[in-house]
Amino acid sequence: MNPHNRRGILTMMSAMLFFVTNDALVKIVSSELPTPQLIFVRGAFTTLLLLVLVVFTGQGAQWRTLRTRSIPIRALLDSAATFTYLTALFHLPLGNATAINLAAPLFLTLLAIVFLHERVGPFRWLMIVLGFAGVLLVVQPDASGLNAYAWLCVVGTLFHAGRDLLTRLVPAHVPSLLITLSTAAMVTLLAGLWTLTDTWLPVSSHNLLLLLGASACLAVAYQLLTLSM
């Protein structure tokens, strides 16, 4: 196997592990906090963590590399994916939402064929389908959870696939950590505007710790996903 493909597979698998952990943590908090406030608090923690990493690694000096059209479009797509997917997640069994979201490779492969003109043979299609079937066997989605929120989750998954496709179009000289930071900052900014339409509730120390853990998982997952793409 091509070593680049091997690294891509390993980083993608690791990213999915952190994404699912993040999903589980925010779903716990979602019973006590409004969706926009939850996304904003988690996003603020994530952005702060990434900003510290950017400063620590010295990548902040390369901020001008972010001035490429694909990066803000990617950040907007990720924001749309976050809002739609989490709204669906809070109204669906975790297994159902996970199963739908992990269909993203199917959508991404279709998008890559259409927009990047990549060639995908029968063997790769078979592996993708078998992988998704394996996901279904593990998470065992509940048929009762197939409702309007399930379709909203599909929309969020399509946005995720579009985000990942755009990652391939970002110039190679742009540091991956800066791409990750720009995405987290955009999600936080838009979630902050969304909170203006809702009432803020007090956040317990327990929920703050859960959101801090979720933000750490999200920061790692974002970075691994960017590296994988």
Q: What is the pLDDT along the chain (229 residues), one digit of tens a residue?
A: 777 788 888 988 898 899 889 999 999 999 999 999 999 999 999 999 999 989 888 887 887 877 788 888 889 998 999 999 999 989 888 888 888 887 777 787 888 888 778 888 888 888 877 877 776 776 666 666 567 888 898 889 889 888 888 888 778 788 888 888 998 999 999 999 999 998 899 999 999 999 999 999 998 998 888 888 7
How many CA atoms lie less than 13 Å away from 85 in the CB half-sphere? 29
Q: State the pLDDT at residue 144.
A: 65
Q: State the pLDDT at residue 209.
A: 96
Burial 200-214 (b: 16+ CB within 10 A, else e): eeebeeebeebbbbb
How many CA atoms lie less than 13 Å away from 21 in the CB half-sphere? 18
Helix, strand, coil content of the chain in percent (nearest 5): 80, 0, 20
Q: State the pLDDT at residue 147.
A: 77
Among 18, 10, 25, 17, residue whose Cα is nearest residue 208 = 25
Contacts of 208 (CB under 8 A, 6+ apart): 41
Q: State the pLDDT at residue 116.
A: 78
Give 68: exposed, middle or buried? Use CB within 10 Å, 0-12, 13-18, 19+. Answer: middle
CB of 110 closer than 8 Å to CB of 158: no
Distance CA 13, CA 21 (A): 13
Q: State the pLDDT at residue 146.
A: 67
Provide the sign of the torsion angle of the four alpha carbons 132, 133, 137, 141, taken in this order: positive
pTM for this prediction: 0.81
Q: State the pLDDT at residue 138.
A: 62
Provide the sign of the torsion angle of the four alpha carbons 197, 181, 149, 97, taken in this order: negative
Q: What is the DSSP letter of 31?
A: T
